[in-house]
């Protein structure tokens, strides 16, 4: 089969690799019908995730059709359309029993495209199929479901839920890429009074307004003074969600948040960020980090099926699966191409 493999910082190849097979009784093999590229894949290619070894098939977000299962799999069978989650869950360890699947100690967590071969390929082996695959309801399109593999649960759980967004809150979302836009969509489920989007690119700020941001600002415009004027009582935002993964955006979030507010970091950081405790210690600011657990995936899938979660517009570029290298180039050059999410489909 064909797959996208990593060969050290800045080096990737689309070429022939062995077909995956069932190795464990709880495995399933899935034919990839739709797949996407994540900002985390770009971090891997930059060398920010050293655990990824050379020759690894990248990718952790896909929709596909089950082609085979091990004898221990009970809830999916050959022919089922499934969502391949970015998180695998053994279902038995103490973290999984507490629904903290991202921290699984039984062989799961974020492993696809990280510690084992991922799904930017024609087929993928998925461990713990019963607890890591989601059967898709009739009527849910592959492209829409694809967005629930990672960015929507990540934005919701690590951004909106960790940040405890509530009715009437003022929320700043720093970064209007796919994660930031998904944070806008899912923050709106909790009825904040104002969502302020911050990004360098005017095209992404325009997208943020289309997805429901009340105000869109460049970093130069998003001074603490300007943002305080937009907050409900002039003290700053209740929640600041970091959705980029660079020191400057994290530090900006800590400057925008009000006393007693929350900073929810979602971005994947490859460099140290300064934590200004000399300013923050007296302000009762809560800072959260996290890897998605995907425990919200069934809820989000229900909302999607019911038409309560409108993801139209998040995918901006579409390709055949065999155009994977071109899709990477378009996604990596989003400032010029205007790419938000790219989707690749079996042809």
Q: From first to last of the 347 residues of the chain, give the pLDDT tens digit.
A: 999 999 999 999 999 999 999 999 999 999 999 999 998 999 899 988 899 999 999 999 999 999 999 999 999 999 999 999 999 999 999 999 999 999 999 999 999 999 999 999 999 999 999 999 999 998 999 999 999 999 999 999 999 999 999 999 999 999 999 999 999 999 999 999 999 999 999 999 999 999 999 999 999 999 999 999 999 899 999 999 999 999 999 999 999 999 999 999 999 888 899 999 999 999 999 999 999 999 999 999 999 999 999 999 999 999 999 999 999 999 999 989 999 999 999 98
CATH number, domain 154-288, options 1.10.260.40, 3.40.50.720, 2.30.30.40, 3.60.21.10: 3.40.50.720
Q: What's the pLDDT at 335?
A: 85
Q: What's the pLDDT at 154?
A: 98
Architecture of domain 2-150+293-345: Alpha-Beta Complex (3.90)
Angle between helices 202-210 and 178-187 (to 10 degrees): 20
**3-class secondary structure, 201:** coil
**3-class secondary structure, 198:** strand
Q: What is the pTM of this model?
A: 0.95
Q: What's the pLDDT at 285?
A: 97
For residue 121, the 8-state DSSP code is: B
CA 63 to chain centre: 15
User: What span, in angstroms and rounded, lies between the C-alpha atoms of 218 and 229?
Assistant: 16
- Give me the residue spans of the domains in the chain: 2-150+293-345, 154-288
Q: What's the pLDDT at 270?
A: 81
Q: What's the pLDDT at 271?
A: 87
Handedness of CA 310, 312, 314, 319 (dihedral sign): positive
User: What span, in angstroms and rounded, lies between the C-alpha atoms of 106 and 152?
Assistant: 25
pLDDT tens for each residue of 195-243: 999 999 999 999 999 999 999 999 999 999 999 999 989 999 999 999 9
The residue whose two tokens read 């002039």 is 234
Burial grade of 277 (CB within 10 A; 0-12, 13-18, 19 or more): exposed
pLDDT tens for each residue of 45-79: 998 889 999 999 999 999 999 999 999 999 999 99
**3-class secondary structure, 233:** coil
């Amino acid at each position: 089969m064909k797959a996208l493999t990593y060969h050290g910082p800045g080096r990737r190849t689309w070429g022939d690799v062995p077909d995956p097979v069932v190795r464990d009784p709880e495995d399933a093999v899935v034919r990839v019908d739709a797949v996407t590229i994540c900002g985390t894949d770009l971090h891997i290619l930059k060398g920010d995730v050293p655990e990824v070894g050379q020759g690894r098939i990248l990718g952790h977000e896909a929709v596909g059709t089950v082609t085979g299962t091990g004898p221990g799999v009970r809830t999916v069978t050959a022919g089922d359309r499934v969502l391949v989650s970015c998180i695998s869950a053994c279902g038995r360890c103490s973290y999984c029993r507490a629904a903290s699947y991202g921290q699984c100690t039984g062989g799961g967590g974020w492993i696809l495209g990280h510690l084992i071969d991922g799904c930017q390929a024609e087929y993928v082996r998925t461990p713990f199929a019963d607890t890591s695959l989601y059967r898709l309801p009739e009527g849910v399109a592959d492209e829409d479901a694809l967005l629930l593999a990672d960015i929507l649960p990540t934005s919701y759980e690590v951004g909106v839920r960790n940040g405890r967004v509530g009715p009437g809150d003022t929320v700043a979302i720093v970064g209007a890429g796919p994660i930031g836009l998904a944070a806008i969509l899912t923050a709106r489920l909790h009825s904040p009074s104002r969502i302020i989007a911050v990004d360098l690119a005017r095209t992404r700020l325009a997208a943020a307004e289309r997805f429901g941001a009340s105000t869109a600002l460049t970093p130069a415009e998003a001074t603490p003074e300007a943002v305080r004027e937009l907050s409900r009582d002039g003290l700053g935002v209740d929640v600041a969600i970091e959705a980029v993964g660079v020191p400057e955006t994290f530090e900006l979030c800590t400057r925008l948040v009000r006393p007693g507010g929350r900073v929810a970091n979602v971005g994947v950081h490859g460099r140290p960020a300064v934590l200004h405790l000399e300013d923050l210690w007296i302000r009762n600011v809560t800072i959260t980090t996290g890897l998605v657990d995907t425990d919200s995936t069934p809820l989000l899938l229900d909302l999607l099926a019911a038409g309560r979660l409108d993801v139209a517009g998040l995918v901006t570029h579409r390709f055949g699966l065999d155009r994977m290298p071109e899709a990477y180039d378009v996604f990596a050059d989003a400032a010029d191409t205007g790419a938000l999410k790219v989707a690749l489909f079996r042809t």
